[in-house]
A = this chain, B = another copy of it.
């Protein structure tokens, strides 16, 4: 039993899909979320820059007294997870391994597709983790750069998004995959469009859901879950103006964000 908060960071708002799932599954846990909105998007930066940013974010959250760190960002999980694990004694959970493991379990024809940002796909991180588990699996990565701006524009259920999805996803459908990993924290909001385009025969893997399963197992294993009956605290920090984070973020979370504090990091 440990009532310290869970720390979650992302380069921006995408990680809120993971946070939303924490709220749903681990209702008693307090959380501290950091969105590095002054330096978003990480996906177009060099590995060296992403590692530096992620260390700074980690330090901020550790100073908040967290018991477990969630890297709710595919780019950072791909590039910098091991380096962060080495630095910390607490559990550190990224979003790639849980999604990769779930995909390996789900596939029946041994053909897995992974969609994400250019940085995530070009890093090859999902393919590496999946093939470490089972070298006989075929993995097809596909960057879908327009999905993030479409989600942030609120077009999660628009004909335009369906057309973009058809244009992109044809390339993984043609590979005969039976499992598709949504390898970007924004994509759970497109699950219905992606599901329609891919059809019933393809299983979609939602990294947010898989990541929170792993957080839960880790807390139970360490007897570190929070059973306190008080209201959990839910803190939000951003590194640039909170206005946009609040309006777009509330759509991601499906609930109001009461207070957000702007902090300076890495200046």
Contact = CB atoms under 8 A, between A and B. Distances in A.
A39 B152 CA distance: 19
Contacts of A163: 159-160, 163
Number of copies: 2
A79 to B, nearest CB: 12
A44 B37 contact: yes
B160 A240 contact: no
Could you say which interface size class chain A belongs to? 20 to 34
Contacts of A148: 149
Contact of A149 (B40, B45, B145, B240): B145
Interface string A144-164: 011011101100000110011
Contacts of A145: 149, 152-153
A247 to B, nearest CB: 11
A223 interface: no
A109 interface: no
Contacts of A49: 38, 240
A2 interface: no
A136 to B, nearest CB: 32
Interface string A196-207: 000000000000
Interface string A31-59: 00000011110001110010000000000
Contacts of A45: 38, 240-241
Interface string A121-156: 000000000000000000000000110111011000
18 contacts: A38-B45, A40-B44, A44-B240, A45-B240, A45-B241, A46-B240, A46-B241, A145-B149, A145-B152, A145-B153, A146-B149, A146-B150, A146-B153, A148-B149, A159-B163, A160-B160, A160-B163, A160-B167
Given A145-B153, A146-B149, 17 more contacts: A37-B44, A38-B45, A38-B49, A39-B39, A44-B240, A44-B244, A46-B241, A49-B240, A118-B244, A145-B149, A146-B153, A149-B149, A159-B163, A160-B160, A160-B163, A160-B164, A160-B167
